[in-house]
Structure 1
Amino acid sequence: MVESISISTAARVVNRAKRQALARVSPVKRLAEMQHHRRLERHRPALPTIPVHHSDVVEALRANAIETMAIDDLGIPGTSELKDVLGQQVSALAARPVRGATTIEPSTTELFEDPALWRWGLSEPMLDLAENYLGMPARYYGAYVRREVADGQALDVRQWHRDIEDRTSLKILIWLNDVDEDGGPFAYLPVEKSDHAVETLRYVAGFVTDEEMRRVVPESEWRTCPGPRWTAVLADNCRLLHRATPPQAKDRYSVTFTWTTRHPVKTMPQEAMSADQVRRLTTGLTWRQFECLPIALQRQARG
């Protein structure tokens, strides 16, 4: 346990130093950007062909870093099965007592019980879409289901922040119940406002309170994404300052899928899985799908 904690602490120190260097040290930042652009140019001819409706999504994301639609309209195989599994996850979370918690999540065992949930983000059309937006092969981090308790508290990710995994990323956030303005919708600042706030605040990482944000971007410029159940919010949270608005009227249920490039700025820690969980998640995957998995999971699967 001590060794595990030491490794985790060391990883955080390295990641923080890397972020600071990329943000503050101009020669380091320029070198990293040049390397990133070389990778994009080398991979451009190999980008997979995608259907027109996915090309429209990619263009919207490139322009605005966000797009909202019904999950069915994305046309990803396995969506019907995904809904069934998520319905079961919501029922299980709704039955749990709150006991002072702000966020309630399923256990690892519950999350990986049905591989249809985790594997949805590994379908070939989904990987094609992610790769076209990221500009290079994707790293997929799976599905995370959450119940946000309606307590009005602005804690943790309910405060303004930008994700720090990479220069660019793709997240798909799906509402598992109807979410109105009092139900804790996803909130964000448009790209140009996010850039302005980052520059003004000299932001690198961490959380920004509403009060601090109002000093640099008026609340009239803040945007939210309410919607009925099965609304999907596709966003690049590495480009947008965003937050989960604290629910006021009722608990919010959601699932989030995440993809980054395979050369992320931050190495994301991954919880070790049991041999049975690894088998459930990896059996039958194509070579491409396997290569999209987190490195730690690949190593576990290879034994």
Structure 2
Amino acid sequence: MITSETVAGPLGRFANRLKREILTNVTPVRWAADGMHEERRRKWAPHLPPLDLAQAGLVSTLQRQGVRIGPLDDLAIPTTDALKPALDRLVAPLANLPTGGASTLRPSTDDLLADLFIWQWGLQDRMLDIVENYLGVPARYYGADVRREVGNSQTVGVRRWHRDAEDRRTVKILVWLNDVDDQGGPYAYIPLAETLYAVEKLHYVAGFVDDARVADMVPAGAVTAATGVKWTAVVADNCRLLHRATPPIARDRFSVTFTWSSRTPMKTEAAPDYTPDQARRIRSGLSARQLACLPPALACG
């Protein structure tokens, strides 16, 4: 049966694009959808967890700028000390995989789940407290995406300018698993004010934007590249910022991305491709709060 969690392929992409077009361009529909979302935020406001100064500072930065770049350790998320060696164990075999002409390589799902620290890291209460306060509603968590971006200079996929279309707001944490310089494929973004100007002038709804069109709208000096040493963390709302994975030239880039949205996202996502045993492993040891953050296809069974 096709549900809101299982639509995929060309039909799913068409449906998501049509939904985004309607929500953007049909004013009464947009007003109604925005009104329902604000009502959800209003009802949840009394239940938002309290934050310490560091957490509140991060939320404030995301609200004002849409991005924060700094050491992963600054987030003070429990199990980060166990996360790092688990990720290191994934990078070595991933680095030795033949590319087969691909621009992006990922470990197998079994390899990714060999150390549950990796997938479950984003379900720590401290992290959920930050995300929930930024979103204003309960969070949905999509797990970890470990990637090797091959240094082939190809401008394909997310290496082109775009905004994510999952929701009104998201939180993504992108962590460098090797040192990343200007030629190593850094995350690049256009600051919020310049993004909003470009989006308006381009009549942008969703999809990729050519470099030349972006260059016409945005001064070259406004583009910011998030270079950094290993374990640098980019915390960003990619639904608000025009951004890209700059094509790596001199060397491959290794990273892990953790993603959260609301539980009523604007984009219909395909059901995660996990076996029943893999789904049981993901759920193992999770609290009721953590289970509630999983996509429906993972949260039961």
Alignment partner, residue 53 of structure 2: 52
Establish whether residue 90 from structure 1 lines up as the match of residue 82 from structure 2: no
Q: State the distance in 2 between where 1:50 and 1:6 align.
A: 36
- Which stretches of structure 1, 4 residues or longer, exceed 6 Å deviation after superposition? none
Alignment partner, residue 107 of structure 2: 106
1:137-148 equivalences in 2 (<5 Å): 137-148=138-149
Q: State the distance in 2 between where 1:6 and 1:262 align.
A: 16
Alignment partner, residue 23 of structure 1: 24
Equivalent residue letter for 2:143: G
Alignment partner, residue 218 of structure 1: 219
Deviation at 1:7, TM superposition (A): 6.0
The worse-fitting range, judged by mean Cα deviation, of 11-20 and 273-282 is 11-20
Alignment partner, residue 243 of structure 1: 244
Q: State the distance in 2 between where 1:32 and 1:81 align.
A: 41
Q: State the distance in 1 between where 2:40 and 2:29 align.
A: 17
Deviation at 1:54, TM superposition (A): 0.8
SS of corresponding position for 2:217: coil
SS of corresponding position for 1:215: helix
1:216-252 CA-to-partner distances (Å, cap 9, x unmatched) read: 1122211111000000000000000000000111110
Deviation at 1:14, TM superposition (A): 2.6
Establish whether residue 123 from structure 1 lines up as the match of residue 86 from structure 2: no
RMSD: 1.9
The worse-fitting range, judged by mean Cα deviation, of 126-135 and 13-22 is 13-22
Q: State the distance in 1 between where 2:125 and 2:219 align.
A: 41
Q: State the distance in 1 between where 2:264 and 2:179 align.
A: 36
Equivalent residue letter for 2:260: W
* Count of residues paired in the alignment: 300
Alignment partner, residue 291 of structure 1: 292
Equivalent pair of 2:7/2:270 in contact (CA under 8 Å) = no
1:100-147 CA-to-partner distances (Å, cap 9, x unmatched) read: 111111112211222110000011111111101111110000000000
Establish whether residue 259 from structure 1 lines up as the match of residue 272 from structure 2: no
Deviation at 1:56, TM superposition (A): 0.4
Equivalent pair of 2:175/2:257 in contact (CA under 8 Å) = yes
Identity %: 49
Deviation at 1:6, TM superposition (A): 7.9
The worse-fitting range, judged by mean Cα deviation, of 262-271 and 161-170 is 262-271
Establish whether residue 275 from structure 1 lines up as the match of residue 270 from structure 2: no
Unaligned runs of 5+ in 2: 1-5
TM-score (norm 2): 0.96
Deviation at 1:88, TM superposition (A): 0.7
SS of corresponding position for 1:265: coil
Q: State the distance in 2 between where 1:253 and 1:178 align.
A: 9
Deviation at 1:9, TM superposition (A): 4.2
Return closer, same or farther for 1:159/1:8 CA change in 2, 3 Å cut-off. closer
SS of corresponding position for 1:232: strand
Q: State the distance in 2 between where 1:273 and 1:187 align.
A: 31
